[in-house]
């Protein structure tokens, strides 16, 4: 089936059906226990893998699982614990700074709006989207480089950046599916549609378009 013979609407229908079949359940891959620990874990996952983040967060959260306790840690101590995930100098500074802000401005709670989240150090739109969808159940479609790649491969978006791709995907897929679909696409990309060594003929989605 060629891309020219199938509409985007039909592609979307087939993608939803296949992803629901492959991944009926979508557990959050980052270990956390509340909005704060999720926020920190998502921040740490930037340009890193979930597996490497999950290796360092237990020790970090045992020491400081609340904004109050994290704000008391030195940047060097945070960096020492999170060093394996990479970009530790910037991430450690941001984690301490955002923890201080949560204590001073938000009563030790993670805010539940995009504007307030994106105002925190080190928190971009993608990180805020993950927290809004997974911690607060708000409809959001976090688009990282992996989802950006899949959307382009599947002919769903020709966006030059994740911002445009997010707009395209939100327009194509029903809002009620966004939170689940974001995780399904991540799982699918890792298992069947990787950046390198991808065989389109063996990919359950690429092979049908």
Both 129 and 144 in a single domain?
A: no
Q: Which of 31, 144, 176, 180 is catalytic?
A: 144
Is pLDDT at 51 greater than 80 in this prediction? yes
- The reported pLDDT for the residue numbered 6 is 81
Integer CA distances (angstroms), 105 to 17, 67, 116, in order: 44, 11, 10
Last residue of a domain, one of 81, 111, 134: 134
**Which domain range does residue 202 map to?**
3-27+140-208
Q: Which of 11, 91, 96, 126 is catalytic?
A: 126
DSSP string over 95-159? HHHHHHHHHHHHTTS---SHHHHHTSTT--HHHHHHHHHHTT--------HHHHHHHHHTTS---
Residue range 141-185, pLDDT digits in tens:
999 888 999 999 999 999 899 999 999 999 999 999 999 999 999
- The reported pLDDT for the residue numbered 208 is 86
Confidence band (pLDDT; 50, 70, 90) for 67?
Answer: very high
Last residue of a domain, one of 90, 108, 134: 134
Both 118 and 63 in a single domain?
A: yes
Task: Please state the pTM of the whole predicted model.
Answer: 0.90
Lowest mean pLDDT among 47-51, 52-56, 70-74, 135-139: 47-51
Both 20 and 89 in a single domain?
A: no
Residue range 140-151, pLDDT digits in tens:
999 988 899 999
33 is catalytic: no
144 is catalytic: yes
């Amino acid at each position: 089936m060629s891309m020219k013979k199938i509409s985007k609407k039909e592609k979307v229908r087939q993608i939803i059906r296949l992803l629901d079949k492959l991944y009926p359940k979508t557990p959050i891959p980052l270990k956390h226990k509340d909005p704060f620990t999720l926020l920190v874990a998502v921040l740490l996952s930037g340009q890193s893998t979930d597996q490497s983040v999950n290796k360092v967060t237990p020790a970090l959260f045992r020491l400081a699982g609340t904004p109050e306790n994290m704000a008391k840690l030195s940047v060097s101590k945070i960096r020492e614990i999170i060093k394996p995930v990479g970009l530790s100098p910037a991430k450690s500074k941001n984690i301490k700074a955002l923890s201080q802000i949560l204590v001073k401005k938000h009563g030790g709670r993670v805010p539940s709006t995009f504007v307030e989240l994106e105002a925190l150090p080190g928190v971009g739109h993608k990180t805020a989207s993950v927290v809004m969808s997974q911690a607060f159940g708000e409809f959001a479609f976090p688009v990282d480089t992996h989802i950006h790649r899949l959307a382009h491969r599947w002919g769903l978006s020709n966006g030059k950046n994740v911002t445009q791709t997010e707009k395209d995907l939100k327009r194509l897929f029903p809002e009620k599916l966004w939170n689940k679909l974001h995780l399904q696409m991540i799982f699918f990309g890792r298992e069947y549609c990787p950046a390198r060594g991808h065989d389109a003929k063996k990919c359950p989605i690429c092979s049908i378009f």
